[in-house]
Structure 1
Amino acid sequence: MKKIVATILGLYATSLAIGQTLESYIEEAEANNPEVLAFEIRYHISQKKIREAKTLPNTELSAGLFISEPETRTGAQKMRFSIKQMLPWFGTVTARENYASSLSETDYLEIAIAKRKLRLSVSQAYYKLYAIKANQVVLEENIQLLKSYKRLALASVEVGKASAVDVLRLQIRQNEMLEQLKVLELKFVSESGVFNTLLNRAQDSEVSIVGNLTIPIGQEEVSKDLGLHPELEKYDRLFQSVTQFEELNQKESNPNLGFGLDYIPVAERTDMAIADSGKDILMPMVSLSISIFNNRYKSISAQNKLRKDQIMAQKADRKNLLESILISAINNTEAAKISYNTQIKNLEEAGNAEDILIKNYETGTINFNDVLDVQELQLQFQKKKIEATKDYYSQRAVINYLSNQ
């Protein structure tokens, strides 16, 4: 019971460590990533366009001077001043505002999608770094193990129970591991650069990686339902924006109303005295702009209908793709767990074989070819275990992206 409790506490501590470390990197990436920032700026622009949609057409002002002054009964007309304001049909401004608002909502979803994709990219890059770091630790441990084997071999050579060839084989194997270790160091630097790029910081910035990850034991409940995923919701918002655009199109096909006022100053007559001499002219006006040739609006309506069909087809296609990716990720996590558990059993068996070899040394006989074989097997099992761990958490990140678990 104590061992079980200790194991559970260890898994809990591991989950807390990865949650704190990785989550902090994700938050930093969301705050600094240029792509996310670009989508946020785009959203703010679309918000400004909602206010822009409320504006009315420009007020028209005009003034004219009569070169040849028209003579009227009350006097000569000197100048002409006009002011005119066109107004869209009732509800057109509201429809334009609703359309701009629907486009803004779509841009907001793009931010959510970009953040989800960034979370996935950061997580998978983090697990790659974990695998490299874990492999480095395994190689360092195996190098130390080979050094101890080399000391045993040297002692056996001195008493005539082993040959110098065995010592050379152990040294060659150690050199190969040192080479692999240096390659991993370079790979870690390269992958750290990729990781830091996602966080939009200097590529040589230090990256802290959790020391050990374990795969949970037992069956995990994973939903295969995508739910209201932002990538699918985006198509619903696009469909709604087309609906709003069609409503705007119908409103814009209606007549536009215009209201204006003309003012004409009139000079007084000097040749005779008459009533209302020099009385200025004030003329209110109403105008109506009618779309007689409205093929444009009919064409837009037909395009909107086709665009809706296109959006629904794209949504169905995207949903099928995401569902297939989700199912594949779920199966891959189970495969990783199987591989992980297999490597644990293999490592246990290899450890037993190693114990037998050490006991043989105590009795005076040891086959260093067998030592190298067992050590090679242990190294391969450890690498496969690390790879299974990386695959498991990488696929869990995919599941989290798709099902928000």
Structure 2
Amino acid sequence: MKINLIVMIAFLLTLTVKAQSLNDYLQIASENNPELKAIQYKYESALEKVVEVGSLPNTTISVGYFAQEVETRVGAQKAKISASQMLPWFGTLNAKQESAQFNAAAQLNNYEFAKRKLFLDVKTTYFELFELNQKEQLLVENIEILKTFESLALNELENNRSTMVDVLKIRMEKNELLNQLSTVQENLSAKKIAFNLLLNRDEKSTVLVVENVNIIYSEDFNKEQISDNPKLLQLENLKNASEKSELATKKEGLPTIGIGLDYGFIENRAVENLADNGKDIVMPMVTVSFPLFSKKYSSKQKQLQLEQKAIETTKVNTYNQLQTVFENAKSKLSNSKVSIATQIKNINEAESAKKVLLAAYETSKIDFEQLLEIQQLQLKFQLKKVISEKEYEIQKSTLEFLTKDN
């Protein structure tokens, strides 16, 4: 029974580990992020606005009772009830609805842009964690190598094939790497907290990062797809909403028609054979409202026209900014790709040089100064490679943010 329980726990732990991939973290972020939730609520509110602006004005119903009865031929008026409804000019409500629909679409675009930005932030932090993890591993490995060199130098010191200076140089380099390791570990701890907060979860939650990144050099990003970026689509929808609002304002400046009905209650007269005795009064009504002395509608139209020009200008500026980001990211992506290939060659060359130096140990004295220098170079190339891999993935994520749907 205990064995089965242990196997089950191990299986569940395995599933948990497998689940923590970058895509899973993106899913967690999209579900938990408070900013996205706030924008979602705004979008739902904007959809309700479509129903609101498409509704007719309130129907007016009034009831009156005559404190002093008004005598008519057929009897005294006792009370009156009236109902009226104002009707906007033809097409006014439709224009308001279309404006609200474009505003709702703009909120949806804002949601999509915020989601893309969130995914870029998650990916950027994730690959910064990858860099720190790899740096930690490389420093630990190199510290162990230096410990081996130190032991070897101490042995050679006993045989007069090395000097105490060699030993001290190795120890100083080891101390320097220990200091770097401490800094990296502190940064790694802080970055994990930042990553968990980005996912809006407990800051002490376990964060698992890949050991190796899958560099795919065949990625093709089309700059023309920037036109479909949600930020630009949002501005386009806001402009369309303003145009429809301008049309609605123009129609609001036209006459408003009202229809109504008055119903009067008449009391019977104490007169025999009186035609229509006590007959109630029914009076249909039509009213027309003219905005003769108001310039507010023309002023509002002018405001909306200027707003449209501002949006169009902002759209052009935003498009230029996104293109600049695209070109910079593409250039850095290319540079990172070249750097990765270069560092791989340098790492291999340094490894070969180190093997040559160690091979000489069997026949002659080890040159610890050269060996230490080669080891330092190799670590330098390894760290550069990790940095370039991180940079490549971040720039790739930036290009995805600009051109691709999540």
Shift of 1:368: 1.9
Mapping of residues 186-205 of structure 1, within 5 Å: 186-205=186-205
Q: Gaps spanning 5+ residues in structure 1: where?
A: 1-16
Mapping of residues 392-403 of structure 1, within 5 Å: 392-403=392-403
- Amino acid corresponding to residue 166 of structure 1 in structure 2: D
Q: Report the equivalent of 1:355.
A: 355
Counterpart of 1:67 in 2: which secondary structure?
strand
Shift of 1:216: 4.2
- Amino acid corresponding to residue 138 of structure 1 in structure 2: L
Shift of 1:171: 2.4
Mapping of residues 4-403 of structure 1, within 5 Å: 21-213=21-213, 215-216=215-216, 221-225=220-224, 226-270=226-270, 274-403=274-403
How many pairs were matched up?
388
- Amino acid corresponding to residue 251 of structure 1 in structure 2: K
Distance 2:19 2:282 in 1: 77
Contact 1:18 1:210 in 2 (8 A): no
Distance 1:75 1:276 in 2: 9
RMSD: 2.2
- Amino acid corresponding to residue 206 of structure 1 in structure 2: T
- Amino acid corresponding to residue 374 of structure 2 in structure 1: V
Distance 1:175 1:311 in 2: 58
Counterpart of 2:82 in 1: which secondary structure?
strand
Counterpart of 1:278 in 2: which secondary structure?
coil
Q: Report the equivalent of 1:404.
A: 404
- Amino acid corresponding to residue 342 of structure 2 in structure 1: T
- Amino acid corresponding to residue 140 of structure 1 in structure 2: V
Distance 1:342 1:396 in 2: 19
Distance 1:248 1:56 in 2: 14
Q: Which runs of 4+ in 1 moved over 4 A?
A: 17-20
Distance 1:275 1:339 in 2: 107
Contact 1:214 1:389 in 2 (8 A): no
Distance 2:269 2:365 in 1: 139
User: 1:66–1:122: structure 2 CA closer, same or farther, 3 Å change rule?
Assistant: same
Distance 2:63 2:44 in 1: 40
Give TM-score, length-normalised by structure 2: 0.90
Counterpart of 1:115 in 2: which secondary structure?
helix
Q: Gaps spanning 5+ residues in structure 2: where?
A: 1-16
- Amino acid corresponding to residue 231 of structure 2 in structure 1: E
Indicate the larger mover: 17-26 or 163-172: 17-26
Provide the identity percentage: 37
Distance 2:118 2:264 in 1: 67
User: 1:221–1:109: structure 2 CA closer, same or farther, 3 Å change rule?
Assistant: closer
